[in-house]
A and B are shown apart, each in its own frame.
Chain A
Amino acid sequence: MHSSFISFFDYTVNGLIIGNIYALLAVGLALIFGVSHLINFAHGSVYTIGAYIGWASITFLRTPLPLTIVLVVLGSGALGMLIERVGLRPLQGAARIAPLLATIGISFVLDILVQLIASPDPRSLPTQLPDWRLHIGTGTVGALDLLIAGIGLGSAALLFGFLRFTRLGWAVRATAQDRDAAQQMGVDVNRVNQSVFAIASALGGLSGLLVGMYYNNISPAMSFQATLKGVVATVVGGVGNVPGAIVGSMLLGLTESYGVALFGTPYRNLFAFVLLLLILVWKPNGLFGRKRVLPPEPLTGTFIAPSKPWRVPAWLLAALFVAAAVLPLFDPSPYLLQTLTNSWLYAALALSLTLVAGTIGQISLGHAGLLAIGAYASSLLVLDLHLPVGTSIVLAGLMTAAIGTALIFPAFRLRGHYVSIATLGIGEIVALTILNWESLTRGPIGVSGIPPLSLFGRDASSNSAFYWAALGGMVLLALLQWRLLRSHLGRTFRAVREDEVAARAYGVSPDRYKALAFGFGGFAAGISGAFTAHLYSYINHETFTSQISILALTMVILGGLGNISGALLGAVALVSLPELFRITAEYRMLIYGIALLLLIRFRPQGLLGTV
């Protein structure tokens, strides 16, 4: 008993140490959300850049720790102001979804820049603190652990004082409560926003420096995980709530640590995301979020901007379809054909997401999970149950619809950003389940030898046949969706999106319609995943990453939410652009990111507009 108690104590200490690190990230995210109602996906990039500023000043200027900290705080604070000024302020008045996408785009560009300037190799960032360690339990706690805790708590206290006792702090709180009213009272809202971004980014950069020193390891790839964990911690505590963010971080750290203790390391993140979902379902505003502070969004369709969609004339669509359908007859390069095939597969995914995110307003950040379910279902049906490939694809679509809807069902009561976070969590849970359910999915080894596509007993693995199959499947799904949206269902879906309370007042049960949307969306995504599996012949838990979820969302927003032709356009554009930019070699992803930002800047409602 005694030794197990020691272990329990050690796990607790370890959980608090890692929670400590998450807290530094979460505080900044919470602050920005509190004022701008924005989940800042660029926070992880600022964190990375902070670490690199620290590395550069130690390496090239040989600065001592206090000066390093000052430089990092100033540098990342300035970066935060720049992000606000260049990326977000021009989008004021646009739908709230536009700034969200802008932060994704900014993070993309910043990460690439770091990689181009500092090389992708991980670097060491030696701690400048004395190597002094305190023995706690059987483990030890170092000076850096205490410094991180001190800075976390200290900055929270400073923030508290700032918000409560300074004029700018009052202005921040006033803006957080009611932006328009604050402006009418003479608060310079832009300045407030900029200050908040500066403070939050300074904290983010500082945490990058400290975490980099803690692990003696910084790399351009560290940003995504940081954002992910920071967002989870923030949401657990209640978005927009600074003390809540700290408690949420500790809770996340402890959950991970106990998860490792009970079930082993591969289950660590699974527990983190299950905790996230439980908290969201149990307390949709987080543990400490007060309901009144956060107006349930969107009551008046502010999350997704209404706009006048540009209707693509039917003759043009028909002409484009005919052109696409006859293309393989003209002996195009297989590379072009493959790129378009990939576009059609992503278009099916985008169709699914534009229905779920656009038409019924449930912004999903976990759509890669649906692809994965479809891909595994079809592969395993063929390999283990020896079903023919075509049948397996249809069944995979149905299974994805069922499983996907069941997974998301508990989150139906959530709104706005919380739906995004819940779906993000579900996407991660799907990937981690695939990793750990070895008897079914073969774990990290993955499923190999997936037979190529064949339809109606005939081989369809040639480039043209696969192309036609993907195009045909995608167009059928698009027509089905178009028909669906023209019926009363489309109107009801949009009614739920615009105002759930009003829809309910009219006797509409939102849950039922959400389930219908996710069911149809799951079917389309599952089909897309199944096709992909037969194209790749090998899949494992890393084939469908959360980057794909974000890519799919970008496609959908770029095309115009809820807009079927827009989803197709977005998919073709975002699959083809990186290929077109290949000629620019290592700059291609940078150019792609900048192009994306410009598009958001000038068409925040999407290329073809929201429907």
Chain B
Amino acid sequence: MLHRQSFLRLAAAFLLAPIVASAAPAAGESVWFGVSGPLTGQNAQYGAQWKAGFDLALEDVNANGGINGRPLAYVFEDSQSDPRQAVGLAQKFVNDKRIQIELGDFSSPASMAASPIYQRAGLVQLGFTNSHPDFTKGGDYVWSPSISQADAQPLLADLAVKTLGFKRVAVLFLNTDWGRTSRDVFVKAAEARGAEVVIAEGYQPDEKDFRSTLVRVRDAKPDGLVLISYYPDGALIAGQVRNVGLTQPIAASGSVYSPKFIELGGAAVNGIYTNTAFFPDEPRAEVQDFVKRFRAKYGKEPDAFNAYAYDAVVIAAAALREAGPNGDRKAVRDAFYKIKDVPSVVFGKANFDPQTRRVIGVKSVDLVVKDGKWALGDAKIKAAVASVR
């Protein structure tokens, strides 16, 4: 049993902790954005990655004059990616006059449940991981700088079919709105490039055992596997592929790109190809600057979700600057129609399509895991893999 006094002391400590933590060096009054995302619960890991990206971007923005001279700051509220809490938070942000723009939520059910509230109240919702095709249909205040799967999956099909020469493709996909959308685009793109998709198996996000699925895949006699996965499940699948006697080459969607993919997959992920919009060794100045500062601040390698979060803040800052020192929320929305060529780690230069309210196009680099490290998938490695096969 906790004594009442010590409980109170504990409670007081909890109450004070966030206040102390968020004290920022301010030059004038801050410009705020709100974040609704998972800090606890099943998706908490992604919220933590967001936070790292946000904080780094904030340093950058504030070191370079902030928003028209005022520092940028944010409130991160934990939604657990639960739609019920996300709608409550939406009301909270909408009613908080400081908040000029909102970022998140993580999952489609939570983000899209909150959209009507942001749209009605006229506060921009920038859903930067929301690739659901209907997300931005929520209204003209709903924008997304997430990579559109309609753009990204054809590039994966290029890698799998044109570069790696898969003729009979087996697809394993995360059976969520994201994975399913991606699968549909990929299958179409792969078939347009002359390959046949012999089997497509959807698995649940909490699935850990893939042996039986992989036997099914084996029996379809593919000559290559394509994983539409995130890094934890992608690593799990890779770890089990060889155990059921499959030796075909594997290509995975860019969402597996993470140092964690190699940590969790171990030797089993060697030789897996992916094409990703974000790769730390890419020589572009934005990327190198981001990677260098990320390593210095956190002492580890950034991954794709860190980069998405970083970019989202940079884009939000660009819109807030464009809206002007006295811009209201509507001016922020209008700014999204005006901002051009926002420097971006993921896109190079981010430009929104005013019709879809999504960032146009995506670039990508081909990578392969070589000796436990991500490496550029150059022609020599491809030839080597082809000859092994």
Contacts and interface: CB of A to CB of B under 8 A. Distances in A.
Interface in B134-156: 134, 137-138
B14 A140 contact: no
A586 B76 CA distance: 10
A582 B76 CA distance: 10
A388 interface: no
Nearest to B120: A461
Contacts of B177: 444-446, 540
Contact of A217 (B41, B94, B232): B232
A260 interface: yes
Contact of B202 (A17, A266, A537, A589): A266
Interface in A173-227: 215-217, 219-221, 224-225
Given A18-B209, A266-B175, A446-B177, A536 B18 contact: no
A540 B108 contact: yes
B94 A334 contact: yes
A300 interface: no
A584 interface: yes
B91 A337 contact: yes
Given A115-B40, A461-B116, A542 B109 contact: yes
A323 interface: no
B168 to A, nearest CB: 16
Given A265-B213, A337-B91, A537-B112, A578 B85 contact: yes
A449 B137 contact: yes
A507 interface: no
A264 interface: yes
A537 B180 contact: no
Interface stretch (B66-74, B189-197, B239-247, B336-344): B239-247
Nearest to B183: A444
B57 interface: no
Given A10-B244, A446-B177, A126 B213 contact: no
A122 B91 contact: no
Contacts of A142: 243
A585 B18 contact: yes
A425 to B, nearest CB: 16
A360 interface: no
A35 B204 CA distance: 35
A577 to B, nearest CB: 12
Nearest to B213: A265
Interface string A440-470: 0001111011001000000001010000000
Contacts of A334: 91-92, 94-95, 121
Contacts of A584: 11, 14-15, 17-18
A165 interface: no
A583 B45 contact: no
Contacts of B383: none
Contacts of A591: 11, 14
Contacts of A220: 44
Given A122-B260, A540-B108, A588-B78, A444 B40 contact: no
Given A14-B215, A339-B88, A120 B48 contact: yes
B239 A215 contact: yes
A7 B244 CA distance: 11
Contact count band on A: 35 or more
Given A11-B212, A126-B266, A444-B180, A536 B85 contact: no
A112 interface: yes
B134 A448 contact: yes
Contact of A542 (B40, B134, B176, B215): B176
A139 interface: yes
Contacts of B115: 537-538
Interface string B7-18: 000010011011
Contact of B95 (A335, A435, A588): A335
B175 A215 contact: no
A215 B84 CA distance: 33
A17 to B, nearest CB: 7
B98 interface: no
Contacts of A333: 91-92, 95
Contacts of B218: 7, 138
A592 to B, nearest CB: 10
A269 interface: yes
A216 B266 contact: yes
Contacts of A160: none
B40 A586 contact: yes
Contacts of B378: none
B134 A449 contact: yes
Nearest to B115: A537
A297 interface: no
Given A216-B264, A538-B109, A122 B204 contact: no
A461 B120 CA distance: 10
B264 A217 contact: yes
Interface string A516-541: 00000000000000000001111110
Contact of A537 (B14, B92, B113, B216): B113
Contacts of B244: 10, 14, 138-140
Contacts of A543: 83, 109, 113
Residue with the highest number of chain A CB atoms closer than 10 Å, among B40, B181, B211, B243: B40
A334 B93 CA distance: 10
Contacts of A123: 263-264
Contacts of B137: 448-449
A338 B211 contact: no
A579 interface: yes
Interface in B102-137: 107-109, 112-113, 115-117, 120-121, 132, 134, 137
A35 to B, nearest CB: 26
A278 B202 CA distance: 26
B213 A215 contact: no
A219 B205 CA distance: 13
Contacts of A579: 85, 88
A438 to B, nearest CB: 9
A47 B219 CA distance: 35
Residue with the highest number of chain A CB atoms closer than 10 Å, among B39, B44, B215: B215
Contact of A124 (B11, B202, B266): B266
A384 interface: no
B55 interface: no
A269 B204 contact: yes
Given A21-B209, A265-B216, 12 more contacts: A14-B212, A220-B44, A221-B42, A335-B92, A338-B91, A444-B177, A444-B179, A536-B112, A538-B113, A578-B85, A585-B18, A585-B78
14 contacts: A120-B45, A142-B243, A221-B206, A260-B212, A342-B88, A443-B180, A446-B132, A536-B109, A540-B109, A579-B85, A579-B88, A584-B11, A584-B14, A586-B40
Would you list the 6 A-B pairs with minimal beta carbon distance, nearest first? Answer: A120-B44, A538-B112, A536-B113, A338-B91, A335-B92, A448-B134
